[in-house]
Amino acid sequence: MHPFPEDDRIAYEPPPDNVSGAVITGFMRDLGVSRLEELHALVRRDPDTFWTAVLADLGWAWREPPHRLTDLTAGKPWAKFFPGATTNVVDNLFRLPDDAVALDWHGEDGDRRTFTTSAWRSFALRLAAGLRRAGIGQGDRVGLLMPMVPETAAVFVALAALGAVCVPIFSGYGVPAVVSRLNDSNARMLITADGFFRRRREIALLDVALESVRGAPSVTDIVVVPRLGRSLPAGVMPFSALMGDDEATVAAVAADHPLMLIYTSGTTGKPKGTVHTHAGFPVKAAQDLRHCFDLRRGETLFWLTDMGWMMGPWSILGSGIIGATNVMYEGTPDTPHPGRLWEICETSRVNVFGLSPTVIRSLMPHGGAPVAERDLSSLRVLGSSGEPWDPASWRWYFSQVGGGRLPVINYSGGTEISGGILGSHVTLPMKPCAFHGPVPGMSVEILDSAGSPVDGAGTGDLAIAEPWVGMTQGFWGDRDRYLETYWSKVPDVWLHGDAVMRDDDGFWYVLGRSDDTINTAGKRVSPAEAESAALSHPAVSEAAAIGVPDPVKGEVMVLFVTLGGIVPSEADVKEDIGRQLEWHLGKSLRPKAIHVVAELPHTRSGKIVRRAVRASFLGLPLGDVSTLENPSCLADFAGLSG
């Protein structure tokens, strides 16, 4: 049993030094276990011992230590961690030497700014003092509609220092999406920029901010960072007005005090505000970076992301707690040239680098030359998140970027998780596209259609059986929706919504969202399987498979592809893809139709949104499409079903 039979073999064997010197190896040694299976068993048997060891490994600082580690009085969905403790995540940042580079920022236009630990701490705490003078205090929600510039990270840290609650908002959102998040959180202030650069164009972000605030009556102040240097209209506060010489005192807050609200999309059109805390999200982020990505003090992390997505705060807090340099990039992966990411990795001497598989697929047509031109000898670990891999893209990343010598850490979880559910380790052999299993600390199971655990090889729904540090403390102002979304199908079990597989060798694979699985005449197939087969065609750049109703088979597959390079003819390509899918999946699962489209809908992080494709194709309500970078492309699908 394997989703990609032609790639059911080991592609990477860890050198002995990678095993003996890994963070996870030392962590297990201190706990008296030698194998990951034993570590997972310890998590189930004695979670307090595990999390106590994690806190010690991170050197987590308390103002007042917790009375105990967990409180399940209100039930598993409302588990509380570290009751009675006071802390502040800011107490646990700035762990590099004062003269070491803590933040290394690259702009799309070639600009670069670096901050030593001392300068970075002073910047954030001076900003916190200015925000306090502007009336921001504990519990106040502040919207952060910003591109990836240093001020974005500084505002995030400054708000945490005050005990205020940050509401990160993706810089590519339109007005309705921004308004919904400001209103749902009842934000008091919005911090934005006059604009930013994207694909060599100036994006007027302030225009979006001003129009959004007109629909958000709770916002009384707008603060503007001068990224483009444009003149500011009356009624807004320049960022410089917040910056004085005094530094704020870092507030002591309860361990479960809200740190931020990160909004995720919902199919009903209303986004979900996941609540994350000072000792939840940061501990989970840093632990995952240590145990899965092997990030060490003094190293450099670069994750291509946006502050509006979970991985933005994840990389800032995780690197800060560990004592690693964090690299931020404002622009797109192929601007001003297709080697931009590798240029940054070379210049900043990056050790751990991460992106989404879609980014690799977008860079593959440029070939390996842009990678080969750069000195990537500093790279030690490659990472990926956001969506499942296809074998061709995984192998390109592994061979072209990693030179066939670096582990590719596959990592999958979600905003509600504070990090990963499934992950990989530098200490173990790897198959293309696979995970080694649960991230340490996560009690994960595969459940069949009856809600029973699947032992050994098999497929089913991804489930979490026990609470974990970092789990969201519900949806902001919507208790019932939180319970309905994750806890209503199997008693006291979190169902994440992903379909997963474990093969005969114990490797795990994410097949896609559970509701994406296509069921044709009783045969279930993951969209990822069909898409990977389609992507093996040299003319196909991207692919999305959906299931649509059929009066005979119940459901049939329809495939959408984008083309690139030299294309002999669309008809020939479609016929070739059909034959390839028939060979991979069987004649009964050959798509009913294959459509060539100009583009597929993506989030800014690179995910292809099948739900939106299906809804547009079938003429169904689109739901929340605010996370899409290119929602206008959905109109192209509407007329294809006829």
Residue 1 confidence (pLDDT):
58
Residue 265 confidence (pLDDT):
65
Structure tokens at 280: 């939840």
Q: Which one-letter amino acid corresponds to residue 508?
A: W
pLDDT, tens digit, 9 for 90 and up, residues 594-622 = 999 989 998 766 778 888 888 888 888 77
* For range 97-119, the mean pLDDT: 96
Residue 490 confidence (pLDDT):
94
pLDDT-derived band at 21 (thresholds 50, 70, 90) equals very high
**pLDDT of 267 higher than 50:** no
Q: Assess contact for 585 and 565: CB atoms under 8 A.
A: no
Using CA atoms, how far apart are residues 85 and 52, in angstroms rounded to an integer? 14
pLDDT, tens digit, 9 for 90 and up, residues 279-318 = 999 999 999 999 999 999 999 999 999 898 899 999 999 9
Q: Tell me the CA distances in angstroms from 241 to 133, 199, 411, 641, one per residue in order.
A: 10, 30, 41, 55
- Angle, helix 23-31 to helix 47-58, in steps of 10 degrees: 130
Range of weakest confidence among 417-431, 466-480, 596-610? 596-610
- Identity of the highest mean pLDDT range in 280-294, 448-462, 569-583: 280-294
Using CA atoms, how far apart are residues 594 and 580, in angstroms rounded to an integer? 12
Q: What is the mean pLDDT of the chain?
A: 91
Bond into 336 cis (ω within 30): yes
Residue 574 confidence (pLDDT):
85
Structure tokens at 258: 């809200």
Residue 485, phi then psi, degrees to nearest 5: -70, -45
Please give the full DSSP string across 582-610, using - where no structure is assigned. Answer: HHHH-GGGS-SEEEE-S---BBTT--B-H
**pLDDT of 268 higher than 60:** no
pLDDT, tens digit, 9 for 90 and up, residues 208-221 = 999 999 999 999 99
Q: Assess contact for 169 and 178: CB atoms under 8 A.
A: yes
Using CA atoms, how far apart are residues 640 and 15, in angstroms rounded to an integer? 51
Q: Assess contact for 614 and 546: CB atoms under 8 A.
A: yes
**pLDDT of 567 higher than 90:** no
Total-model pTM: 0.85
Residue 146 confidence (pLDDT):
95
